[in-house]
Amino acid sequence: MGSSSFDVLIVGAGPAGSSAALAAAKAGAHVLMIEKRRQIGKPVQCAEYIPRLLKHTVKIPPEAIAQKIQEMITFMPNGEVIRKRAPGFILNRAKFDQALAQEASEAGTKILTRTKAVYKEGKKITVLGPSGEDQIEASVIIGADGPDSTVGSWIGQKNRKFIFGIQHTVVLKESVQDTEIYFGKEYPGGYAWLFPKGEMANVGVGIQRKLGGVAKLALKSFKKRIRHRIGEVVDVTAGLIPVGGPLRSIDEKDRIILVGDAAGHTHAITGGGIPQAVICGTMAGRAAAAGADGDKLTFQNYFHQWRSAYGPMMDKAAIKRKKMEAEWHEKDRMELLKSCWVACKEYYNDA
């Protein structure tokens, strides 16, 4: 690549990174986005559900929609079934990510795959790509590089609390219309899910290891429960989901902005984060372009913008997460789950 200079460097080409790249490029910034994986969007590490309202914010190509969803059905340990309207889509996530990156590219973003950020010294960032190490300069850096963010480590802002998720994409033996959530002692600090996508489904579990959860055993147990409905496995993914609440996400001295999983922008109970990634990514891109153009208030403005949009929701979820984990082995689990699950009215009745 050789030594290059950019207004904005974005590390990570998921929904947060590509949304930031698109916004920054549209604002006139010279943007480079790097992605450590060989192919943007793969492997998929996501249950792939997004709410329908997000379609008003981002272009979702028809080929990226696997199935429309109307309801979320929650199965409680005592047999109670809770239905909640949750209109949205199950994505073909790889196609969704690739479409976002393509749009950013068409707006002028330069994209390099198989390239990762290694370390930073002043405005100079060393990256490692297929041809070896290169140095680039950037006025502003956006860290959109996932739960274990390298960019976050440069400014001492790292996610510290996670649940571990493992998911099989399987063939469905029967049609499924809604997303399904399952709670039980087998999934400590988390839940199991079945998210349909046409003739297939994402079947997975998220567990808190510190509460004694073993993801592979939990998934095996869940698949046994629904074995009459599912067939062969066609894909396997696993990864960490940050659930410790949002980070501060800015460092004005180092001119760094964090977004998406790197910023802890996930819902600490559900683990969902695509809407926040897209919307906060757009905010981050605009802020970075303004920062590269000399706006000294842009970092604070970004912080206040995302806090205004999502801060209370994220903070509440983090409080509920803390409660769930603290009381998992101590309290009537039904009462606890109803207090801590988004489909239940009790979730919204207290802090």
**Ramachandran angles phi, psi of 180, nearest 5°:** -125, 135
What is the 3-class SS of the chain, one letter each residue?
CCCEEEEEEEECCCHHHHHHHHHHHHCCCCEEEEECCCCCCCCCCCCCEEEHHHHHCCCCCHHHEEEEEEEEEEECCCCCEEEEEEEEEEECHHHHHHHHHHHHHHCCCEEEECCEEEEEECCEEEEEECCEEEEEEEEEEEECCCCCCHHHHHCCCCCCCEEEEEEEEEEECCCCCCEEEECCCCCCCCEEEEEEECCEEEEEEEECHHHCCCHHHHHHHHHHHCHHHEEEEEEEEEEEEECCCCCCCEECCCCEEECHHHHCCCCCCCCCCHHHHHHHHHHHHHHHHHHHCCCCCHHHHHHHHHHHHHHHHHHHHHHHHHHHHHHCCCCCHHHHHHHHCCCCHHHHCCC
Q: What is the pLDDT of residue 61?
A: 87
With respect to residue 202, please indicate whether it lies within any of the assigned structural domains: no
pLDDT value, residue 107: 97
- Which backbone phi and psi does 95 adopt, to 5 degrees? -65, -35
- Asked if residue 76 is part of any domain, the answer here is no
Q: Within 13 A of 259's CA, how many CA atoms are on the CB side?
A: 37
Is residue 233 in some structural domain?
no
Question: Does residue 100 contact residue 15 with C-beta atoms inside 8 Å?
Answer: yes
Q: What single letter denotes the amino acid at residue 227?
A: R
State pLDDT tens for residues 10-58: 999 999 999 999 999 999 999 999 999 999 988 777 778 988 878 778 8
- Nearest C-alpha neighbor of 334 from the set 344, 326, 349: 344
Asked, for residue 13, whether it belongs to a domain, the answer is: yes
**Residue 216 belongs to a domain:** no
Does residue 176 fall inside a structural domain?
Answer: no
Q: Is the pLDDT of residue 349 over 90?
A: no
Based on the structure, what is the number of domains in the chain? 1
Tokens linked to 335: 């009462």
pTM of the model: 0.94
**Residue 103 is assigned to a structural domain of this protein:** yes
Bridge partner list, 128: 116, 133
- The residue segments making up the domain with residue 326 are 4-68+88-162+246-336
Task: Give a yes or no: residue 193 inside a domain.
Answer: no
pLDDT digits (tens, 9 = 90+) for 54-82: 877 888 889 999 999 999 999 999 999 99
152 closest CA partner among 263, 246, 279, 303 = 263
Inform me whether the pLDDT recorded for 229 exceeds 70: yes
Q: How confident is the model at residue 41, as a pLDDT?
A: 85
CATH of residue 34: 3.50.50.60
Do the beta carbons of residue 41 and residue 95 sit within 8 Å? yes
| pLDDT over threshold 80, residue 2 | no
Mean residue pLDDT of the chain comes to 94
pLDDT of residue 44: 75
Band (297; pLDDT cuts 50, 70, 90): very high
In order of 21, 32, 37, 130, 312, the CA distances from 114 in angstroms are 18, 14, 5, 6, 36
